[in-house]
Structure 1
Amino acid sequence: MKKTKSWLAMVAVLMVVVLAACGEKSQEDVLNDVEEALENTESYKSKATMVLETGQEPQTYDVEVWQKDNAYYKVDLKNAKNEQSQIILKNDDGVFVLTPALNKTFRFQSDWPKTSSQAYLYESLLKDISLDADVMFSQDENHYVFKTATTYQNKNLNSQEIRLNKKDLAPVSVKIMDADNNVLVDLTFTEFERNPELSNEDFNTEKTMDGAQMSEPTMATPEEEEEISIRYPMFIPDGVDSEPKLETVETGERTAYVQQYSGDKPFTLIQEKSSIVPATTAPLNLVKGEPVDLGFTIGIQSADRIMWSHEGIDYSLISESLSEEEMADVARSVYATTEK
């Protein structure tokens, strides 16, 4: 009888071992695979759809990314509503933000994208998973699911859920939540190609702009300047008067609408109709700058200002008193407000 019980116990142990060997991978095994994927991915191309819930109404973008050697980047963000795009480009000459419809090019020196999380960059997602000591891990039939902390520029983006395909760790989706677990950014990958053939020339600035303008012609310049709907920031930092001093400045045929906010941290917001830059114009060079994610568009932050274009309007937010984070919060809220 004892021999029978011993034999049964041995069989049970062997069955557990066999089932474990054939079962799901452990968190440690998967994290090792993630680090290996990060090391072995030398280039990639991806396409995704991104829905932003950070403004008055949802904004949908088609996002296409090319990356090579963690040194060359092309991120094309196209607004699905108006079919206009912005391109973040990184090559040997620096970081560029291109707006093809306006023929505008900003160039600056920056550590982007190393300075913060980027939902549409594959290596950024893998790094967020690998570097978070408190990462939460689960899995279903087809996906590994990770919930991690984030380092997004927008501090309201508190945590994220990243899904990777079990077969090859290709990105499937990213949901970014606020502190109350509300989804503010929902990104779904539709295509992903690992280690495609890419050359440095694929990230050439002029070639990229020319290619974008073939599918997205520059905006037509109106014969007369049209009036614009003035917008005001919904977020006003503490100690700042919420009622601005308003001024209209005429310069030649152009009109700028100026709002001056006084108080402990004064700032100025300028709005004017976007103008088409002549094709021969050189890029606007900024000694130091950073692309800043405003939710509804990509802005350029440098020293004491943020500049951005949206729906045919150029905006400049200027302050020597606000922190970079406060300036970005004010800029994001200009879209979120109703007209006064």
Structure 2
Amino acid sequence: MGKKQLLWSFFVLMLIIISACGEKSKEDILKSLDNKAEDMSGYKAQAKMNLQTGEDVQSYQIDVWHKKKNLFRVQLENPDSDKGSQIILRNQDGVFVLTPALNKSFKFQSDWPHNSSQPYLYSSLVSDVLEDTEASFKQTENYYVFNTKTNYQSNKNLPYQEIYFHKDSLKPAMVKVFDKDYKELVEVQFTSFEFDPNFSEDDFDTNKNLSSSVGDVPAMAGENDSSLTVLYPLTMPEGTTLASQKEVEFEHGKRVILNYSGEKSFTIVQELYTSYPTSMTSPVSVKGEPVDLGFTVGAITDKTIEWNENNVRYYLASEDLTKEEMIEVASSLEGKSMK
């Protein structure tokens, strides 16, 4: 071997060694993420989330506060809508979903957010990465990228996700969530993220969050403005059809009951309120979990989904539908008023 060849071989070898020394392994990154999640006292984050619901894209501005270990506050707002914001709150009293624009709140005895994947919560993203032993890993110029399985308890139609962490800080940059065919249905872009921020003692207090939002509550439908636009689902199991529709008056407004029959039958109740039986300071207790329907956050159990929008309470009940099917039917009501 000539002198030039020896020099060239040595040069190539040094490049390989330098490159190997400068690039961390998947195991190194996993350990660093685990340590960061464990050592931090909390964080504040802002993000934009896009949800592909049918042909439409729903966009949210998200503001997240987390204080170790079990204090969470997530505010979701659609900037293109006049529906106001929603707050998902976890404190020592339980889990709450607050909907100020409807003068309504749910209280859950729930393990949220620890029992399911959450694309806008740092601890959830790190947990998903650590728990998926088959997760793929790559590095780009600026990001560590993991492809992992998800853990959505109430929606098995979103099994995969791609998570981007900034190389220099391990802060989350972006999350993409895919369906079974790897079609992207959810994208979260983090616009700011701060580790170990300062919090006031009452930042996660239920009453403070309720009272600070009361100013957003609009006027209810009056007695002379009590028309209820009935919404019909555009998505339902094959062979299921509308069997009956009944409209009745009740103490606080007007109620419409839709009964759907078939191999998988269900009932949808829609109630327009002219007065509210429950104030914001008296949350309705729910035996279930918060569920994101794309246009609002509701409450889901094994057999029901309940949500509120534009002074209307919606309630779907079925002995036949799975949770995934209930979510699909409920989500397809949004903005539609045709059979």
Structure 2: segments with no counterpart, 5+ residues: none
Contact kept, 8 Å, 2:252 with 2:274, in 1: the verdict is no
TM-score with structure 1 length normalisation?
0.89
Contact kept, 8 Å, 1:106 with 1:285, in 2: the verdict is yes
Q: Match of 2:332, SS?
A: helix
- In structure 2, the partner of 1:161 is 162
How far did residue 161 of structure 1 move? 1.3
- In structure 2, the partner of 1:75 is 74
Structure 1 range deviating more: 272-281 or 151-160: 272-281
Contact kept, 8 Å, 2:269 with 2:314, in 1: the verdict is yes
How far did residue 336 of structure 1 move? 7.4
- In structure 1, the partner of 2:284 is 284
How far did residue 235 of structure 1 move? 3.0
Contact kept, 8 Å, 1:103 with 1:276, in 2: the verdict is no
Question: 2:252 and 2:198 mapped to 1: Cα distance?
Answer: 48
Query: Which amino acid in 2 is paired with 1:138?
Result: K
* Identity among equivalent pairs (%): 41
Question: Are positions 1:142 and 2:145 aligned together?
Answer: no
Contact kept, 8 Å, 1:149 with 1:160, in 2: the verdict is yes
- In structure 2, the partner of 1:300 is 299
**RMSD, aligned CA:** 2.5
Query: Which amino acid in 2 is paired with 1:76?
Result: Q
1:234 to 1:118, Cα distance in 2 relative to 1, 3 A: same
- In structure 1, the partner of 2:256 is 257
- In structure 1, the partner of 2:111 is 111
Q: Match of 2:333, SS?
A: helix
Cα distance per residue 1:53-88 (max 9 Å; x no partner):
114421111101111113011110111112411111
Q: Match of 2:257, SS?
A: strand
Structure 1: segments with no counterpart, 5+ residues: none
Contact kept, 8 Å, 1:103 with 1:279, in 2: the verdict is yes
- In structure 2, the partner of 1:52 is 51
Structure 1 range deviating more: 308-317 or 222-231: 222-231
Query: Which amino acid in 1 is paired with 2:38?
Result: E
TM-score with structure 2 length normalisation?
0.89
Equivalent pairs counted in the alignment come to 335
- In structure 2, the partner of 1:195 is 196
Cα distance per residue 1:64-123 (max 9 Å; x no partner):
111111301111011111241111111111111101112212112001111210011111
Matches within 5 A, 1:1-340: 13-21=13-21, 23-83=22-82, 84-152=84-152, 153-214=154-215, 217-223=216-222, 224-237=224-237, 241-252=240-251, 254-274=253-273, 277=276, 279=279, 282-286=282-286, 288-302=287-301, 304-335=303-334, 339-340=338-339
Contact kept, 8 Å, 2:210 with 2:280, in 1: the verdict is no
Contact kept, 8 Å, 1:76 with 1:87, in 2: the verdict is yes
Contact kept, 8 Å, 2:155 with 2:323, in 1: the verdict is no
Question: 1:125 and 1:4 mapped to 2: Cα distance?
Answer: 50
How far did residue 8 of structure 1 move? 7.7
How far did residue 243 of structure 1 move? 2.2
Cα distance per residue 1:135-155 (max 9 Å; x no partner):
121122111111111112322
Q: Match of 2:130, SS?
A: helix
Q: Match of 1:334, SS?
A: coil
Question: 1:146 and 1:309 mapped to 2: Cα distance?
Answer: 36
Query: Which amino acid in 2 is paired with 1:309?
Result: N
How far did residue 330 of structure 1 move? 2.2
How far did residue 6 of structure 1 move? 7.8
